[in-house]
Amino acid sequence: MTTTATTQPGTPVDQPKQDGTLLRVLRRLGFENVSLVLAIVVLSAGIASVNPAFLKLANIAAIGNYVTVMGLLAVIQTVVIIMGGIDISVGSTAGLASVLTGMVFAANGQWWAAMLVPLLVGALCGLFNGLVVVFGRITPLIATLATLASFKGIAQLVSNGRAQGFTGADPVFIFISRGTILFIPTLIWVLIIVAALVHIMLRFSRVGRDIYAVGGNDMAARLSGINVNGRILLVFVLAGVVASIAGILITARTGSGQPVSGSEGLEMLAVTGAALGGAALRGGKGSVISTIFAVILLGVLINGMTLLGINPFWQNIAQGALLIAAVVIQQLSAGGRRVGLPK
């Protein structure tokens, strides 16, 4: 005889557990974004408790201006990493663009020519990187390590290793470096616009979906009809263009083309910002919004260390520690095999 369970009226029936409101909000915002914002708030509060000058509007604007160049490079580095590559030549490309901006402006005094030439050269630098990766069949790390040195050498060669030109008297460059729109510095607006355009491309376009697919599994992407080589070339060209925009901002901010000093170490900051924002170095995962929060965190950290009078050499140590921490967290969360340990 089989007994069947009956449900009496009013008796609760087992139903799937519903997530709490807070958990749903956190998932929508993204745990990485929330954790980065909390880190920014806690770090800012700690620095301000020691040095109240940290919260002055002038210092906050200084942080914003400082993170602009780093943010541009970190945003485009995020795209390259999502694709499954890395471009450590972006700092050298920015330095070359900065030099060309100063030299072209000194030659003809036209701000538009001083911006157009480095943008074209930056696109060519990115295209060269892409061609080396695609047709030379060299990993992006090695290819861009080589061009990091080459582009830096070209910048030093054409400038004789010295700052070039003077843009500090031109109204357009003055507006870029010191102007404001709706009380927000122009430099920050440049970062906002570029980041928004890249975010829209990644999230709402076929090109963006293709980039994620290539980074997730390039062989599967190729079999599904995606032009993998074309997407790789496109991403590296975009990296060169955005790096050139960063170089133009360096020239506007310093008043002259800087072959090395204005761009030294930017590639490290770009990779750190992207990795800290959750861009998976294995490819296929990343977010521009998270990268922006990570860049702000880096800016707050570096600015705070300066205000507190900490030896500048510790900044490099802090950046390296953050990069290691970000990659370790990625590796552990992905369940990947750690080097030197059994599976």
* Terminal CA-CA length for the chain: 52
- In Å, the largest CA–CA distance within the chain is 99
Per residue of the chain (343 residues), what is the pLDDT tens digit?
Answer: 444 444 444 444 444 455 566 566 556 666 778 888 999 999 999 999 999 999 998 899 889 988 999 999 999 999 999 999 999 999 999 999 999 999 999 999 999 999 999 999 999 999 999 999 999 999 999 999 999 999 999 999 999 988 898 988 999 999 999 999 998 999 999 999 999 999 999 999 999 999 999 999 999 999 999 999 999 999 999 999 999 999 999 999 999 998 887 667 888 899 999 999 989 888 899 999 999 999 999 999 999 999 988 888 888 888 888 888 888 877 776 665 555 555 5
pTM to 2 decimal places: 0.88
For 341, which DSSP code?
A: S
Quick one: CATH architecture of 67-330? Orthogonal Bundle (1.10)
Say if residues 153 and 92 touch (Cβ distance below 8 Å).
no
pLDDT for 124 equals: 98
Backbone angles phi and psi of 160, in degrees to 5: 55, 25
Q: Which two tokens stand for residue 130?
A: 């892409």
State residue 131's pLDDT score.
97
pLDDT value of residue 194:
97
Domain boundaries, the chain: 67-330
* Burial (0-12, 13-18, 19+ Cβ within 10 Å), 291: buried
The C-alpha atoms of residue 309 and residue 328 are separated, in whole angstroms, by 30
Per-position DSSP letters for 125-171, written without gaps between them: HHHHHHHHHHHS---HHHHHHHHHHHHHHHHHHHHTTS-B---TT-H
* Of 106, 62, 94, residue with least CA distance to 258: 94
